[in-house]
Amino acid sequence: MGKFYHEAHHVAKLATLHPSHRHLDIDSGVGYNKNNSSMSDGVHMHRRILHVDLDAFFASVEQALDPSLEGKPVVVGGKPGGRGVVSSASYEARVFGIRSAMPLSRAYRLCPQAVFVDGHFSYYRIASQRFMSILDDYSPHVEPGGIDEAYVDLTGSEALFGPAHGVAQRIRERVWDELRITASVGLSTSKVVSKVASDLDKPDGLVEVMPGEEAAFLAPLPVRRLPGVGPKTEQVLKGVGVAAIGDLAALSPSYLCCLFGKTGALLGSWARGEDGSPVEERGEARSISRCATLSRDTLDRPFLLGMLRYLSEKVGAELRRMEKRARVVALKVRYADFETLTRQCRLRGPTDIDQLIFGAVAELLQRQLAGAAKLVRLVGVEVSGLQAEAQLRLLPSVEDRLERLDRALDGLRLRYGYDAVQTGRTLAVQRRAGVFS
């Protein structure tokens, strides 16, 4: 186990939840023009934007935690007999065709000798925080693109840290030295071009696109490499003869707008290497969600309610850890035919209490399943409308007692594990499904 992970071992027990879904507040920053340059004291300078992407992040953390896994095909997501999907696959596993979001059963057929692990999400979060901390050492302008990637604006920092290429190399070295994870980096004048560049020489690559060479760099690449071009968009573009990014760049904005609306003009600009969007600094979480794919499709309402109670407790614990309360609770249901629905309700007041979150989502479930005949494959709980904790009430109330109870349970579970204390609903679910950790 690497030094960082060894030091973080006891901290991990304090953060056993899956990383929450986070959204960024938009921060205006300095003015940027579409030519990918910034202006300081009336003097234009080319921007220097990094996109740093940790390679096969979850799987790489597992290999760092257990050196015996180094060089072996590692699949994160659960046991191969389960119904889940691949969260991450090491590059050794990708050689066999295993990719993220692939059903675990298929991954096993492709590579039965792979090591399948459930994952250690607490370590992933700790490693992500340390990664972001490393980036913060080189710029105040860091924008996470997810738990394992971020943009860094180095414009104007050469006097402090030297050329941007050297900074990119030092960041890669520090990530390896401190986390035992490789990082791939793209360096250019814009976020879009840097993101494309960081993906071209994985793993452990560094690709720099010089100012003025953005369009030429992008032109020969397959159009699917451009951010914003998914499978459906790619099919539409292929239908009009667009195979490479350069083909897309040659289309008129008006024609692209006919194909894709306002998004079309943006894709055309990106294809020409034009992207003046600023690197936006981190904002606070706007929502928290937890979901679970069931071991088998079911309409067993007591079981579904027990699972929702478990997920509500996970969400509530994360709210209390963040010292936040939520005003909106949402239920997510995915049926066996993969139809997915979301229903939400607004609470009477902001809360971080497990019972109130569960009560709201349970009522939403009862409404959703009224008269339903389709089996349920997945359920989830999400809270939003987050705000800072309110001041304590002068007179004790039922909610005060429930909150004190929840915090006492948090302490016990952090020390002894989730299994130490459970409600009747979650205990019944665990005995049937064995899903808790």
Is 149 part of the annotated catalytic residue set? yes
Let me know: does 383 contact 361? Beta carbons within 8 Å: no
β-pairing verdict for 37-40 and 43-46: antiparallel
Q: Which uninterrupted H or E stretch holds 143? A: strand 142-146
- Cα separation, 134 vs 77, in Å, equals 27
Amino acid (1-letter code) at residue 159: A
Let me know: does 189 contact 47? Beta carbons within 8 Å: yes
Question: Token pair of 318, please?
Answer: 């994360």
Q: List helix spans (H) across 251-386.
A: 253-260, 262-271, 301-322, 354-369
| Dihedral sign of CA atoms 399, 409, 429, 315 in order | positive
With tokens 């696109």, the residue in question is 209
- Cα separation, 283 vs 268, in Å, equals 29
Let me know: does 357 contact 312? Beta carbons within 8 Å: yes
- Cα separation, 217 vs 363, in Å, equals 54
210 φ/ψ angles, rounded to the nearest 5 degrees: -75, 150
Closest CA to 180 of 50, 384, 5, 23: 5
Beta partners for residue 110, in sequence order: none
Can the peptide bond before residue 203 be classed as cis, meaning omega within 30 degrees of 0? yes
- Cα separation, 435 vs 428, in Å, equals 11
* Tally of CB atoms within 10 A around 100: 16
Let me know: does 288 contact 20? Beta carbons within 8 Å: yes
- Cα separation, 378 vs 339, in Å, equals 10
Q: Give me the catalytic one of 92, 143, 149, 313.
A: 149
Q: In Å, how far are 207, 216, 281, 346 from 50, measured between CA atoms?
A: 10, 19, 14, 40
* Tally of CB atoms within 10 A around 125: 20
| CB contact set of 46 (below 8 Å; sequence gap of 6+) | 36, 37, 155, 189, 211
Amino acid (1-letter code) at residue 340: T
Task: Kindly list the catalytic residues.
Answer: 149
